[in-house]
Amino acid sequence: MDDSVSIRRERRRAGRTGCDVEATLSVIGGIWKPVLLFHLLEGKLRFNALCRTVPNATPRMITLQLRELEADGVVNRIVYPEVPPKVEYELTDLGTSLAPVLLSMRDWGERLKRSEAAS
Amino acid sequence: MDDSVSIRRERRRAGRTGCDVEATLSVIGGIWKPVLLFHLLEGKLRFNALCRTVPNATPRMITLQLRELEADGVVNRIVYPEVPPKVEYELTDLGTSLAPVLLSMRDWGERLKRSEAAS
DNA sequence: CGGCATCCTTATAGATACTG
DNA sequence: CAGTATCTATAAGGATGCCG
């Protein structure tokens, strides 16, 4: 727990001394972060739903990444005090403002896949 | 060397099974890759020049990242057979097509820095 | 200058088991 | 359901030295 926080601090420091792109990477630089944020663009999602959208990542990794996104203020974690437990994640306004980045990433990936399928 | 290749393979596999955003991340997912690509948007750069634009990364890391970017077809490496050695890096057409992604990342980082400076 | 090879130290991701 | 805790294996990353 302390680790991820210190890592985040380092990333922030890099974001300060570096260029604007580094600042963005200090927030969305994790391997699964852009994917998680992208799927949250369409609305709130439960933890398990998020896991299903990123089958290549383990639940543990998803938890860790979500915690960092939350700490960076791009994701809200909503806990419903019921049994069985229910937790939803949603983008904050800051997170929603990442839409241009995420959508351009999706577009580029789509084109890449098409060109790879053609070859 | 073998390592980075296998890593790339894993990333590609994730890019295949995953969504479009994952496909993009399989290419620009490295911590320093977007920064390097962004600086190359303005034109060819020598190795040392690239190092200066990313002071937070060690030359070793920059080399490794450039090799992967080269293997993924977004960067060209141009070696001039002279003494002292001179090597330049430039974006390929595929690399140039990443401009929307890189520019939106820069824009977001710029806004983030401004809002952080204000608080 | 622009690396690569090597050693060495952390960090990180996976697996597993457990809990409110 | 939505995690947490712990352990372990592996890999990433820094430092250094050498080379064409």
For residues A47-64, average pLDDT: 95
pTM here? 0.90
**Alpha-carbon distance B85 to nearest alpha carbon in chain A (angstroms):** 28
DSSP state of B83: S
Helix (H) or strand (E) holding A80: strand A75-80
Residue-level pLDDT at A16: 56
Locate the chain A residue with the closest alpha carbon to B35.
A21
- Is the CB of residue B5 inside 7 Å of nucleic acid strand D? no
Confidence of residue B116 (pLDDT cuts 50, 70, 90): confident
Which chain B residues are closer than 8 Å to A39 by Cβ?
19
**Residue A73: per-residue pLDDT:** 96
Show the CA angle centred on residue A74, arms to residues A73 and A75, nearest 5°. 100
Question: What domains does chain A contain, in order, with CATH numbers?
Answer: 3-118 (1.10.10.10)
Q: Is the pLDDT of residue A81 over 60?
A: yes
Which residues fall within 8 angstroms of residue B44, CB to CB, at 6 or more apart? Answer: B78, B88, B89, B90
Beta carbon pairs, A and B, within 8 Å: 123
Question: pLDDT band at residue A92, thresholds of 50, 70 and 90?
Answer: very high
Rounded to an integer, what distance in angstroms lies between the CA atom of residue B95 and that of residue B97? 5
Q: What percent of chain B has pLDDT over 90?
A: 77
Do residues A66 and A59 make contact, with C-beta atoms less than 8 angstroms apart? no
> What value does the mean pLDDT take over residues A1-7?
44
* Chain B nearest CA to A88, separation (Å): 21
Mean pLDDT of B76-95: 96
Closest nucleotide to the alpha carbon of A77, via C1': D2
